[in-house]
Amino acid sequence: MESASYSALLNNVILLLGLGVIYDTLGLHGFRNKRLRDLFSGVLVGGIAIAVMATPWELEKGIFFDTRWILLSLCGLFFGVRTTLIAVTMAVAFRVYQGGGGAVVGSIVIISTASIGLIWRYASQFVNVPLDWRYLYLFGLIVQLDVAVCMFLMPADMHQVLFTKVIPPIVLIFPFVTMVMGLILHRQKDRRAAERELRDSQAMLNRERGLLRGLIDAIPDLVFVKNTDRNYISCNKAFEQFTDSVEAEVLTKNDKELFKPEVAELVREKDLEVMSSGSAQAYECEAYYPDGHKVILDVYKAPFYGLDGTLHGVMGISRDITEKRAADELIWKQANYDALTGLPNRNMMRDRMAQEMKKATRNGCNIALMFLDLDRFKEVNDTLGHDMGDTLLVEAAKRIQGAVRDSDTVARQGGDEFTVILSDLDDMACVERIAANILTRLAEPFDLSGDKAYITGSIGITFFPEDADTVDQLVKNADLAMYAAKNQGRNRFAYFTPSMHQAALERIHLAKDLRAACEEKQFSLSYQPIIDLHSGLVCKAEALIRWHHPERGFVSPLDFIPVAEETGRILEIGDWVFSQAIRQVREWRTTFHPEFQVSINTSPLQFMEESNKPEAWLRALEKQDLPGGALTVEITEGLLMESSAEISEKLAVFRQGGVQIALDDFGTGYSSLAYLRRFDIDYLKIDKAFVQNLTADSDDMALCEAIIVMAHKLGLYVVAEGIETQEQCELLASVGCDYGQGYYFARPMPAEEFSEYWQRRVEYVD
């Protein structure tokens, strides 16, 4: 009997100690579904409890005990509510099944000890108390005291035996057993938690590795890793595609097998530099796809180290920047080269000029800058169209390039303007040779799809460092010299002089003063009589603008009219002259003669400006109750040479309104007789250059007579300007000139004096 009790006690202890082993062995802690895990765990603990109760030990005859309460209290402490309820239900059911007088007490012990375990579990979690040996011993002591209290529920005749032989060992020994069992389960729990965390961390790491690998494979750039022997140990999908190999094949190849020799050598050098220096490097290189397609790669390489600081190799990423490089080059070309001619544009010219200036300063050389403008290019655009104009510009650019040295720079400044940089000048005479060569080539006819076009060029030349030491000032100087060449007759070149700069400054100040003159009404009109050479009467007057500057005094129209045209103020001034003149002619038609006429000089800009309409002047004449014949509009041959449709239409509007047209300074320009047939002209005004030296046998006399005869044949009247002597007047009258104008008759005068002059002239003729 005693041997059987020890055997039963040993069996109980083995079952208790084996709980954790059995739990781990069955793998119940590995269940992902918590409810399923709690169910099987409860069945396991309940089964062990039944096994314990089925093998009790006998302390005294008829008194049997087992360790079920230790098991169930620890179940409540470590496994939670669901597992404990299942185990308690199974244990209570088995105890009731066993029957006997102690069934009720046994069930109470089962329920109370399990409840203590549950209460202790959640209380320790709430106050965050660690389950070390002291708290587990205290827990075991409380559980055993609960069992001892429950013993009072046993029959009274058993109390003596219970309190002398059962309760003392329970209270003294079983708390230690509970503590040992608790420590075992607690350590197993900690181990399982650590294992679970490790599994979760590993799973997360695997997921992250998978995500990272997927991300790297999704990158369109080439990603690769090499070891210290420069063998590949990893690469992404883009690298596989670039080398036409899968990763497994890449890992067995070296750079010489993957790339062309020159590329492989560069890769090797950069790998060694990165690993030896320990610093990242970025560089660009050319590489080739397996099909031979060349690309440009932007490569970034960096060394990588282990946690202990050991160098493991080099990692890198390469990006195909072929399209970006092409786009950058296109943007750079568009920013620095002219799209039409392919020549450097203004920006590139300035940059090259600045570089040449630095070079010339170091070497003590000179530089010449030419500014070239095509003469009469607008005629080609207007007559043949802008497409032909573009074709001419392209051909002109080629001719200019062909006329300079290979070391010189030809640039398109914009429109029909070009610049030429002549560097490293030792012989200054070569500048004139190059300029003359350019002009000669430009003067040759241009074949534009079967049409012949003729243009010339005007060139301004300035020197560095003699004339200026900045690009801006040199360009300005060359521009000024170019305008000087145009004013001298075009198809020529002119050198910049300091007086040009001074004249430019003067124009700037004059332009500023012109604005004030318009606002402060500093202008006035003078009128010069036009005499009928047959009757000697004053029948017309030319209105001439005068500017009396408060500080400068009298400013010649020859000085301020060009500035007014450049600044656009000629439109405002022209309207003012017109309004003053028609008021005056209205008065003189009343006092002098009903057909008296006033001539007004006009600027080509007044006809070229789209917003400037002749209808406005015709309406103003109508408001003054004046016919169009009260006004003569004087134009220059230069306006006829523009010959645009808009100019023709405006001249036609004037003629339809009765306004007469006079062609001023005839014979000094380049217009052909075809213009006289094309446009409705009423008067030719012979320029004073043909009159001032007029004698009976002079060439000028022959020219004047020819002009008069031609004009009369075309139905035009002739006005001779600049008559200063009686002889000139008589000679012109003798060959049929209609009207005369000049100092011989009278100088320009204010309106008040003109009235007195008219009266004297009438009296003189009478």
What pLDDT score was predicted for residue 675? Answer: 67
Task: Check pLDDT > 70 for residue 22.
Answer: no
Lowest-pLDDT choice from 46-50, 360-364, 487-491: 46-50
Band of residue 105 on the pLDDT scale cut at 50, 70, 90: confident
Band of residue 190 on the pLDDT scale cut at 50, 70, 90: low
What pLDDT score was predicted for residue 723? Answer: 95
What pLDDT score was predicted for residue 2? Answer: 46
Lowest-pLDDT choice from 164-173, 263-272, 357-366, 690-699: 164-173
Range from 270-274, 384-388, 396-400, 612-616 that averages highest in pLDDT: 396-400
Task: Check pLDDT > 80 for residue 88.
Answer: yes
What is the C-alpha to C-alpha distance for residues 727 and 680, in angstroms, rounded to an integer? 32
Please compute the mean of the pLDDT values over residues 81-85 and round it to a whole number. 83
Alpha helix stretches (DSSP H) within 624-750:
637-642, 645-656, 673-678, 699-713, 726-734
Please compute the mean of the pLDDT values over residues 278-285 and round it to a whole number. 90
Q: How confident is the model over 591-604, as pLDDT tens digits?
A: 999 999 999 999 88
**β-pair partners for 317:** 223, 300
Lookup: tokens for 750 = 């204010």
Cβ partners under 8 Å of residue 504, min gap 6: 476, 480
**β-pair partners for 453:** 446
Band of residue 127 on the pLDDT scale cut at 50, 70, 90: confident
Lowest-pLDDT choice from 58-67, 211-220, 294-303, 537-546: 58-67
Tell me the pLDDT of the chain averaged across its residues: 83
What pLDDT score was predicted for residue 670? Answer: 55
Task: Check pLDDT > 80 for residue 52.
Answer: no
What pLDDT score was predicted for residue 374? Answer: 94
What pLDDT score was predicted for residue 170? Answer: 66
Residue that has been written with the tokens 């060139």 in this structure: 459
Q: How confident is the model over 232-257, as pLDDT tens digits?
A: 888 888 888 888 888 888 888 888 88
Cβ partners under 8 Å of residue 585, min gap 6: 596, 597, 598, 626, 630, 631
Task: Check pLDDT > 60 for residue 364.
Answer: yes
Query: Interior CA angle at 297 toward 293 and 298, to 5°?
Result: 170
The single-letter code of the amino acid at 183 is L
For residues 15 and 261, the model is more confident at 261
Task: Check pLDDT > 60 for residue 531.
Answer: yes
Task: Check pLDDT > 60 for residue 5.
Answer: no
What pLDDT score was predicted for residue 1? Answer: 37
What pLDDT score was predicted for residue 101? Answer: 63
What is the C-alpha to C-alpha distance for residues 21 and 37, in angstroms, rounded to an integer? 16
Q: How confident is the model over 585-638, as pLDDT tens digits?
A: 999 999 999 999 999 999 888 888 877 889 999 999 999 999 999 999 999 877
Burial pattern 282-308, b for ≥16 Cβ within 10 A else e, equals eeebebeeeeeeebbbbbebebeeeee
Please compute the mean of the pLDDT values over residues 507-534 and round it to a whole number. 89
Task: Check pLDDT > 60 for residue 640.
Answer: yes
- Of the candidates 140, 28, 30, 43, the residue with the CA atom closest to the CA atom of residue 82: 43
DSSP-assigned letters across all residues of 531-597: EETTT--EEEEEEEEEEEETTTEEE-HHHHHHHHHHHTTHHHHHHHHHHHHHHHHHHHHHHT-TT-E
Q: CB–CB of 406/338 below 8 Å?
A: no
What pLDDT score was predicted for residue 8? Answer: 47
Query: Which strand (E) or helix (H) includes residue 50?
Result: helix 34-54
What pLDDT score was predicted for residue 59? Answer: 56
